Amino acid sequence: MIDYKGAFHTGEYRNVLEEYGYDPLLIQERLADTWRVLFEGDEDARIFHNQGEDLGYMLDTGNLDARSEGMSYGMMMAVQLGHKEVFDRLWRWTKRYMYMETGENSGYFAWSCNPDGSRLSDGPAPDGEEFFAMALLFASHRWGDGEAPLNYGTQARDLLRTCIHKGEDGIGHPMWNPQNKLIKFVPNCEYSDPSYHLPHFYELFALWAYPEDRHFWKKAAEASRDYLRSACHPVTGLSPEYAYYDGTPNNERGYGHFYSDSYRVAANIGLDWEWFREDHWACEEANRIQAFFADKQPEDYRRYAINGEAFEEKALHPVGLLSTNAMASLAATGDNARASVELFWNTPLRTGPRRYYDNCLYLFTLLALSGNYRIWTPE
């Protein structure tokens, strides 16, 4: 593996696919084709849909709704690949239909809406908010700010302020616990989801949030890296979907095992290492996860206890899982790193009703392994 400081410091991004021998032209073709299929393809393949003259939404094809998770993912994909019109359509739709102006959750975004914009929930999901904020800051730096709601930088900073100060007036709850600086699963609970932890985003929020909030985000980055050490099993590398603040699995609602949410941890650890290289534990963790799956075939992926015990239940999103395992190769070393990337490269996009989540993780992995998941800084 190339030995250099993180991309934040150098401006250099690894193209792992090219390092492993894949043709640079084929890599770029795969990236362009993947965007085309997901955002411009046939109705049975795409997950993005234009709506009216200036709106658009990402459809969770398994649940037939639009989620703050998917909307924010689409915005991140669009800003990384330079598709401003798609970005703006997604953001306008989000602000029009998901943004809550009144009530306990005012200032947040409803996590689920029907494609016509009607709300299915008045509750927010913090993974959407953190991706919205990061994508908006990147958009501000890449394209500059426009008139509201396209004043991206202000929108991002206002959202970040809400996420950590909400409830100080006695109404509602913050998305991060103010004492331990850990992101919550939802604002009105006191436990976390390891896959929500994005210390590489928080490092950037510490630079670009409102000045009075920057110290909090720096501490949040440190807290999240420590938390992931506690939440990931020391042998298998697996983490639960929900976990208490000490990192132990929270199985009160059946989410204390390694399943769909958990897959993102490997990807997040890989990208944090690529961008900042703050903690060599990331490399050890990536190696553990890849070693656990080295002798398993995607068609036999399961739900697992974090100690590796397999349940009968098959994985709902096997393409998403093999994708995030491959993204861990940003930090991992050795034969399992190469094998994980080869499995990813040789796997096509998922088709059918469950394709949304798998293919979002697939495109993020393709961006990351090709050196195109980048930090967009102010001019």
Alpha-carbon span 327 to 106, nearest angstrom: 35
Catalytic annotation present for 274: no
Catalytic annotation present for 261: yes
Q: Which of 143, 60, 189, 77 is nearest to 379 (CA)?
A: 143
Alpha-carbon span 223 to 192, nearest angstrom: 12
Looking up tokens 């392994």, which residue turns up?
A: 369
152: CB partners within 8 A, 6+ apart: 91, 136, 137, 139, 140, 143, 145, 146
Question: Which residues lie across from 192 on neighbouring strands?
Answer: 243
Choosing from 69, 130, 203, 272, the catalytic residue is: 69
Choosing from 65, 88, 127, 261, the catalytic residue is: 261
Contact 228, 276 (CB under 8 A): no
| 5 Rama class: left (phi>0) / alpha (psi -120 to 50) / beta | beta
Q: What are phi and psi of 332, to 5 degrees?
A: -75, 165
Residue 344 amino acid letter: F
Alpha-carbon span 152 to 161, nearest angstrom: 14
Contact 256, 262 (CB under 8 A): no
Report the catalytic residues.
69, 261
